[in-house]
Amino acid sequence: MSVLSQLNVIQVSGLTKSVNTLEGNLTILSDINFAVKSGESVAIVGASGSGKSTLLSLLAGLDVATKGEVHLDGDALSTLDEEARAQVRAQKIGFVFQSFMLVQSLTALENVMLPAELAGDHDAKAQALELLDKVGLSHRLEHYPSQLSGGEQQRVAIARAFIGSPKILFADEPSANLDSKNGHLIEKLLFDLNKQNGTTLVLVTHDELLAKQCQRIIHIEAGQLEKISEGVSANVG
Amino acid sequence: MWVKLAGKLFAREFRRGELTIIFAAIALAVLTVFSLSSITERISLNIEQKSSDFIAADRRLSSNHAFEPLILTKAKEFGLNTAEMLFFDSMLFANDELVLGSVKAVSNEYPLRGKVTIKDNISSQPFDVEHGPQPGSVWLSEGLFYTLGVNVGDNVELGAGIFNIAKVLVKEPDSPFFSLSGNKRVLLNYQDIPATQAVQAGSRVFHRLLFSGDDQQLTDYYQWLKPQMKSNQNWQGIKDRQSPLGNNLDRAERFLLLAGLFGIMLAAVAMAVSAKRYCERQYDPVAMMKTLGGSRRVIRNIYLLHLSLVTGFSIIAGFAVGYFLQSVAGEYLAQFMGTELPQAGIRPWVLSAAIGIVCALMFSLKPLLDLFDIPPLRVLRRNLGDTIAISRIHITISLLTIFVLMWVFSGELVTTLILFGSTLLVIAILFGISRLIFAAGRRLGLSPGSSWSLAIATLQKRANANAIQLISFALAIKLMLFLVVLKNDIISDWQMQVPSDAPNMFIVNINENEVEPIKQFFNENDIAHEAFYPVFSGRIDAVNGEEYSRRVSKQEGEEKDEEARDGVSREPNLTWLDELPEGNDIIEGQWFTGGDEIEVSVFEGWREVLNLELGDSISILVNEQEVIAKVTSFRTVDWGTLKPNFVMILSPNMAGTVPVTYFSAAQLSDSHTKGISQLLQRYPTISMIDIKAQIEQAQSIIGQVSLAIGFVLSIVLVSGALVLISQVQASLAERLQEVVILRTLGAKGRLIKLATLYEFLLLGAIAGLVAAIVSDLVLMIIQQQLFAVDGKLHPYIWLLGPTSGAIFVAMIGYFMVANTMKQNTQGLLRKIA
């Protein structure tokens, strides 16, 4: 592996995803190639159905590609089975979802602790308390998701995403389910924490303004990589 | 680390009520099996004890030849208690009166089970004792006091001995039910037999040994005894005895067994539904955990621990509630019976815990395995994994488990097959019907915005889910209706067998010239009585010219016929009759044609043993006179009635050819006592056999068993109710989403509540109607196959099914949804988020 590729925390080459449907074979993503450097923030944009969420699922090892390869911090995902990919996610990846995806039977604190506990980390509670304090929810530790507002739930999800200090953070439309005020707050929090932790951020959105806050923007259209442009923060970081 | 997380998740899920249904279902299975098996075991132990009372022992060995001493010594070596008895007839003499008494000499250990009821004198109150008379004294039955004109304290000559009359014998625990030879009873101490000098070589005597002990000892002893037994020896247990009680107990046992099976089926349905629901609700958390890096092993461990914990808690809860229920029921039954119910052994604990574990494993296994397969991608594609919710494998495993559980619990393959097969048929029919009904519902035009149209729209929308719900409702209602009907039928059948106006006195040994005066006496004193049957004793000599003994010994050594042969007496009581008696049915041939030939109608049970066919001629010796009778019909006989029954009935053209005595039965009350004693004095040769005590005994046991059935039925009803509740609760989550949408769109709470009410009313009524129709048809088969009673339709359940179904299901559904209405819409929105 070259020095250049070692600097790339995500290396995507010839990535193709197709599925069998009743009407025959359907290609969702076709021959995608790009790389993401460590600490970089990248937005994946495209219209609904363009394949951006599928791309995210392949990058995070939630799904497997039909062809091509994703190298994630040196690991070739196609060579790993589901268990090994889970191991990679546990060690290197954090997630923020549009629908928060909190476990309803766990409190805010316990939800944040969950990934660390699954990884067998004994320091989970201290880390979770610190992160919840950072997202401004230290007064909501024992609240269940159903007792929190949407914005608060997403803040819990962000705190959860950063526990265990992941190398890469995947965010899928993190503010789409929130009003604009809460949405902006969440976006700011995400970028701030990302900067503080030096995490690589891969953000899926259809919001051009949000995308521009990233250093680079990958445009996907009808399953093809249309172009890669620079965001407004390209020269800042 | 995962243990801590699993414990935390479990506690939360439990507190949030996510595990309530699964917990309730396992607990329900455990408590149903525990309480049913405990109470049935306690009742059957008690019934067994009572039945043992009826033979005054657990087992008995009878013969008309003396037993080898080894038989008794060996029994003692096996740890059994024993008693000896000898029956013979001997003359009694007192006050210049001479009467033939039926003597029963008993050893000091008699009775091994049950009690002897005696009176200090004719007019005093009866009481129970657990021994026979002391040496040198006798106890006489009441009739003998009148015939001999004696009182308690007088002496009576019995054979060559003189004995003091110490008590009035009211009831022996092992007194025969229908024996016409049960003449005037004299109870004598076994040691006094030589003093009577009545038993000489060649005397007609009957020996009997009584045994009691635990099951293992009795079985071991019988294993030793069996090879030594001679053809004239007969080993009898409680269940071998042909009596109405035996038949009724058998039916009660079958009913309790059936109820137990239904309880298990209901619990199993609840369990299968709730396990599937619970696992479906865990799809998202599992997908999330996998996304966050949780390994399959950790997730599997978490959920297997959940399953173990919920199973453990449910079993404990099931034990607690089950123990409480069976204690209350046991207490109640004990009060009613006036005796302590014996405690059940370890079996109910082991059986119910095992069933709890098996239920938890088998009904949760497939949904759990599916759960582990949920792809992490579900976090992005929310419907991923939904397709595995309906699994043929889960259904197959569940059905197989139910079948095996039923089989293991009942130990009867045929019963299980009938019930299981009929249930499968019901499910198939119901699924078809439900699809048709819901499809037809689409064409119903109702005004938009009304509660009814909303209800029907909801029904249609969830056609599949509703079909499953309908099947569960109908199954629960079906099983409950089954038991209600069977309970009513069985109990009313029993009451018919022992009606309150049943004759309580048999009058035997009536001479032909005494028939008219006795009839007149009965009519003058308003005594209800049966017909006067001519009775005579005949010795079966040959069949088609072949000697009887050779014919019977042909089957010697054939185990299966051993019992049957025991029941065939060579000298049965015979009669002739104009008409087929009540409780008899001709199954082959025809009733007497009125020709010159003497014809005979034979009890079906004897056909196989004697290898008879229609047209065979039976040679019967009556007082050295040979009577040849042609077999013209075979009959079934309902031995369950307290009416006189005969194995051979001859045609009326026998009249006048042989000497006979007459037999009748009457219902006598205490007010007739004086008249009866006058009658006995006037006709001293007639004998009265008081069966009042036996009737009371039978009625009391029927009462107890009816009560037990009522209790078991109520447990099954509760189980059924819980199935309905769990099913409604399972569908509540789906409903919640709709309620939220409707509420958000501004629908009034009243509209939603009424729509729910109507929806459940419709579901309940449809389920109830289908359940009633199917139950009634399947009941006909069950009644004929299992209970040997004529199947008949029960119109009342056609009304009871839909009405109770509609009311019950609507009530549960309404209250559950109404409860949801109390929360504000925002709260509901968050709940489903």
Measure A159 CA to nearest chain B CA, in Å.
13
CB under 8 Å to B86, separation ≥6 — which residues?
A: B104, B105, B190, B193, B199, B205, B206, B207, B208
**What pLDDT, on a 0 to 100 scale, did the predictor assign at position B178?**
38
CB contact, 8 Å: B379 with chain A?
yes
Who among A57, A105, A122 is closest to B12 (CB)?
A: A105
Q: Is the pLDDT of residue B555 over 50?
A: no
Q: Decide if A117 and B5 are in contact by the 8 Å CB cutoff.
A: yes
Q: Where are the alpha helices (DSSP H) in B567-682?
A: 604-610, 673-682
CB contact, 8 Å: A17 with chain B?
no
Who among B284, B292, B382 is closest to A118 (CB)?
A: B292
**What pLDDT, on a 0 to 100 scale, did the predictor assign at position B562?**
41
The stretch A163-192 carries a mean pLDDT of 85
Dist CA B166 CA B185 (whole Å): 14
**What pLDDT, on a 0 to 100 scale, did the predictor assign at position B451?**
65
Give B385-413 pLDDT, tens digit per residue: 665 555 677 778 778 887 887 777 666 77
- β-pairing, A67-72 with A8-21? antiparallel
Q: Is the pLDDT of residue B674 over 50?
A: yes
Q: Decide if A117 and B375 are in contact by the 8 Å CB cutoff.
A: no
**What pLDDT, on a 0 to 100 scale, did the predictor assign at position A202?**
93
**What pLDDT, on a 0 to 100 scale, did the predictor assign at position A200?**
92
Nearest CA in chain B to A163: B292
Give A77-86 pLDDT, tens digit per residue: 889 888 888 8
**What pLDDT, on a 0 to 100 scale, did the predictor assign at position B443?**
54
**What pLDDT, on a 0 to 100 scale, did the predictor assign at position B566?**
43
The stretch B31-47 carries a mean pLDDT of 76
Per CB-CB distance under 8 Å, the chain B contacts of A82 are: 296, 376
Who among A83, A97, A105 is closest to B295 (CB)?
A: A83
Q: Which of B190, B54, B79 has the alpha carbon at shortest distance from B134?
A: B190
**What pLDDT, on a 0 to 100 scale, did the predictor assign at position B204?**
72
CB contact, 8 Å: B206 with chain A?
no
Q: Is the pLDDT of residue B442 over 70?
A: no
CB under 8 Å to B443, separation ≥6 — which residues?
A: none
- Please calculate the CA angle B833-B465-B389 and round it to the nearest 5 degrees: 65
Percent of chain A with pLDDT over 70: 95
**What pLDDT, on a 0 to 100 scale, did the predictor assign at position B439?**
66
Q: Which of B394, B273, B314 has the alpha carbon at shortest distance from B727?
A: B273
CB contact, 8 Å: A115 with chain B?
yes
**What pLDDT, on a 0 to 100 scale, did the predictor assign at position B438?**
63
Q: Where are the alpha helices (DSSP H) in B227-295?
A: 244-281, 283-291
The secondary structure of B23-76, three-state, reads: HHHHHHHHHHHHHHHHHHHHHHHHHHHHHHHHHCCCEEEEECCCCCHHHHHHHH
> B215: pLDDT confidence band, cut at 50, 70 and 90?
confident
Provide φ and ψ at A218, rounded to 5°: -100, 120
The stretch B217-231 carries a mean pLDDT of 86
CB contact, 8 Å: B5 with chain A?
yes
Q: Decide if A101 and B288 are in contact by the 8 Å CB cutoff.
A: yes
Dist CA B833 CA B829 (whole Å): 6
Give B82-109 pLDDT, tens digit per residue: 999 998 888 888 888 888 788 999 999 9
Q: Decide if A103 and B288 are in contact by the 8 Å CB cutoff.
A: yes
Residue B510, helix vs strand vs coil: strand
Choice among B128-132, B299-303, B497-501, B655-659 with the minimum mean pLDDT: B497-501
CB contact, 8 Å: A95 with chain B?
yes
| Residue type present at position B238 | I
Give B605-620 pLDDT, tens digit per residue: 778 777 788 888 888 8
The stretch B187-209 carries a mean pLDDT of 85
Has this prediction a pTM greater than 0.80? no
Dist CA B128 CA B105 (whole Å): 19
Percent of chain A with pLDDT over 90: 28
Who among A87, A99, A147 is closest to B295 (CB)?
A: A87
ipTM tops the 0.90 cut: no
> B162: pLDDT confidence band, cut at 50, 70 and 90?
very high
Q: Decide if A114 and B292 are in contact by the 8 Å CB cutoff.
A: yes
Dist CA B357 CA B362 (whole Å): 8
The stretch A166-192 carries a mean pLDDT of 85
Interface test with B, best of A146, A160, A173, A178 (most B CBs within 10 A): A146
Exposure of A102 by Cβ count < 10 A (0-12 exposed, 13-18 middle, 19+ buried)?
Answer: buried
Dist CA A93 CA A200 (whole Å): 10
Who among A62, A104, A119 is closest to B380 (CB)?
A: A62
Between A24 and B314, the higher pLDDT residue? B314
Chain centroid offset of residue A80 CA? 20
H/E element holding A229? Answer: strand A224-230
Q: Is the pLDDT of residue B164 over 90?
A: yes
Residue whose entry in the numeric block shows the structure tokens 């689409």: B442
CB under 8 Å to B731, separation ≥6 — which residues?
A: B462, B465, B469
Q: Where are the domains of chain B?
A: 1-58+237-411, 59-215, 431-498+694-833, 530-666
> B317: pLDDT confidence band, cut at 50, 70 and 90?
very high
The stretch A190-213 carries a mean pLDDT of 87
Q: What's the Cα-to-Cα distance from B223 to each of B318, B382, B481, rounded to whole Å?
A: 40, 68, 44
Q: Decide if A89 and B292 are in contact by the 8 Å CB cutoff.
A: yes
| Selection from B241-245, B514-518, B550-554, B665-669 with the highest mean pLDDT | B514-518
Percent of chain B with pLDDT over 90: 10
Q: Decide if A62 and B284 are in contact by the 8 Å CB cutoff.
A: no
Nearest CA in chain A to B287: A101
Give B763-787 pLDDT, tens digit per residue: 888 888 888 887 787 777 766 666 6
Rounded to the nearest 10°, the torsion over CA B735, B32, B807, B490 is 150
**What pLDDT, on a 0 to 100 scale, did the predictor assign at position B474?**
79
Q: Is the pLDDT of residue B341 over 50?
A: yes
Q: Which of B402, B362, B361, B401 has the alpha carbon at shortest distance from B265?
A: B402
Per CB-CB distance under 8 Å, the chain A contacts of B290 are: 86
DSSP string, B208-245: EEEEE--HHHHHHHHHHHGGG--TT-EEE-STTS-SHH
Q: Is the pLDDT of residue A73 over 60?
A: yes
CB under 8 Å to A74, separation ≥6 — which residues?
A: A1, A6
Mean pLDDT of chain B: 77
Per CB-CB distance under 8 Å, the chain A contacts of B289 are: 103, 114, 118
Dist CA B429 CA B434 (whole Å): 8
Residue A208, CA atoms < 13 Å, CB-side half-sphere = 2
| Residue type present at position B692 | K
Q: Which two tokens stand for residue A103?
A: 């476990």
Q: Is the pLDDT of residue B554 over 60?
A: no
**What pLDDT, on a 0 to 100 scale, did the predictor assign at position B4?**
82
Per CB-CB distance under 8 Å, the chain B contacts of A160 are: 292
Per CB-CB distance under 8 Å, the chain B contacts of A57 are: 377, 380
CB contact, 8 Å: A53 with chain B?
yes
The stretch B713-741 carries a mean pLDDT of 69
CB contact, 8 Å: B383 with chain A?
no
| Domain made up of A39-63+82-234: CATH architecture | 3-Layer(aba) Sandwich (3.40)
Give B111-147 pLDDT, tens digit per residue: 988 888 899 988 888 899 999 999 999 999 887 888 7
| Selection from B221-225, B343-347, B661-665 with the highest mean pLDDT | B221-225
The stretch B633-662 carries a mean pLDDT of 80
Between B448 and B410, the higher pLDDT residue? B410
Interface test with A, best of B20, B281, B289, B291 (most A CBs within 10 A): B291
Interface test with B, best of A63, A101, A153 (most B CBs within 10 A): A101
Q: Which two tokens stand for residue B807?
A: 């009311």
Between B496 and B488, the higher pLDDT residue? B488
CB contact, 8 Å: B652 with chain A?
no
